[in-house]
Homo-oligomer: A and B are copies of this chain.
Amino acid sequence: MGRKRTKSGKIRLAEVAELAGVSPITASRFFRNPEALSVAKRTRVESAAKELGYVPNLAARALASQRTEVIGVLIPSLTNNVFSDVLRGIYDASEGSRYSIQLSNTRYSILQEEKLLRLFLAQKPAGLIVTGIDQTAESRAMLEAADCPIVQIMEIGPSPVDMMIGFSHYDAARAAIAHLFAQGHRKIGFVGARMDPRVQRRLDGYVSAMKDAGLFEQRLVVTTATPTSVTLGGALFTDLLAHQPDLDAVFCANDDLALGVLFECRRREISVPEQIAIVGFNDLEFMASAVPTLTSVRTNRYEMGKTAATMLIEAIEGRRPEQPVLDLGFKVIERQSSSSRQSDNRPAVSAGGAPNKMVALPSSHD
């Protein structure tokens, strides 16, 4: 064909335009806003592009248009399977769109987050997804000054930077404790690891529920800054028992800990739920499969990621959601590990949050 090529051997827009018999700028428009072209030219450009196997040069586009098609995502951890669910949702929602995901790991450090934020913002991302509501003042200022849509995920709070999607960890913990109260438990311990802001708020919810009932005691709480694990759940529970041998229930800040507690109970031949009830948090898949099955607070992690990315993309393209703050709620899934001592297992659940139309909500789960 003798087309002239760039050094790199790649097809440029100009070649496509030439083959299609239009100007480069018209070809350019085809890729950004095909509706603006007449049908005739549109099909001509389309087939020319296909024939040549044209792939746009994103760097050139970014340079010329002064913006990128990158969605920055800041999450505190890659290990935690809570985030992998959220991420999966984000990636799923971004697939098929023109936007690509740029992921960075803050390692639970808001200083690191600030640094990464500065880096991201310098590249003019199309949008940003950040975790939580506990940014540094500097980060907060940067976010507010940013000229792109932003979604805060994982929790909801009083003053969103822009959009926000999550649920109340505080309320969720309170609901878990209320459930245990309803089952007749009184000496309810709390086991928590990592103690990031969201876990902290679960602890706050626990404390307030216990205080409301006049049952709070400091030694019912065992926490550590160490990253969570199943093994750690066993260790923390051991600690808890040492301080409080007459425990009748444990609320674990996540499911890994709960599984660890379950195993530890088995090791010590403590029967669950007869002697001690266990409630976890997140409702990971294995909770329903354990023996006994484990009660947990279901959170809509995948949905959270997916909806966050969807909202963000909509906003980037100018269609801002009428409802910028979305509470995805939670649901206490009662299973054997906390079922009532007297009756067997009526499948009571208590849900929280404000279900909303943008997503199919908790009521429809399980």
Chain A positions near chain B (C-beta within 8 angstroms): 7-8, 10, 55, 57-60, 62-63, 66, 68, 78-79, 81, 84-85, 87-88, 91, 95, 100-103, 105, 118-119, 122-124, 229-231, 233-234, 256, 259-260, 263, 266-267, 285-286, 288-291
Contact = CB atoms under 8 A, between A and B. Distances in A.
B55 A63 contact: no
A286 B124 contact: no
Contact of A79 (B63, B84, B230): B84
B101 A10 contact: no
Contacts of A266: 291
8 contacts: A10-B122, A59-B60, A59-B68, A59-B123, A84-B84, A233-B289, A256-B286, A260-B286
A119 B54 CA distance: 11
B57 A289 contact: no
Contact of A78 (B57, B63, B88, B231): B88
A210 B101 CA distance: 45
Contact of A119 (B55, B231, B234): B55
A259 to B, nearest CB: 6
Given A58-B123, A291-B267, A78 B68 contact: no
Given A267-B291, A288-B231, A79 B88 contact: yes
Interface SS majority for chain A: helix
Contacts of A68: 59
B230 A289 contact: yes
Contacts of A101: 103
Contacts of A290: 230, 263
Given A55-B119, A58-B123, A78-B91, A289 B231 contact: yes
A230 B286 contact: yes
A282 B58 CA distance: 39
Given A8-B66, A55-B119, A84-B84, 20 more contacts: A7-B66, A55-B118, A59-B60, A59-B63, A59-B68, A63-B63, A78-B84, A78-B87, A78-B88, A78-B91, A79-B85, A229-B286, A231-B288, A256-B286, A259-B289, A263-B289, A263-B290, A263-B291, A266-B291, A267-B291
Contacts of A100: 102
A91 B77 CA distance: 11
User: What are the 8 tightest A-B residue pairs by CB atom distance, in nearest-first order?
Assistant: A59-B62, A55-B122, A230-B286, A266-B291, A231-B289, A59-B63, A230-B289, A78-B88
Nearest to A262: B291
Between A78, A233, A256, the greatest number of chain B beta carbons within 10 A of the residue's beta carbon is seen for A78
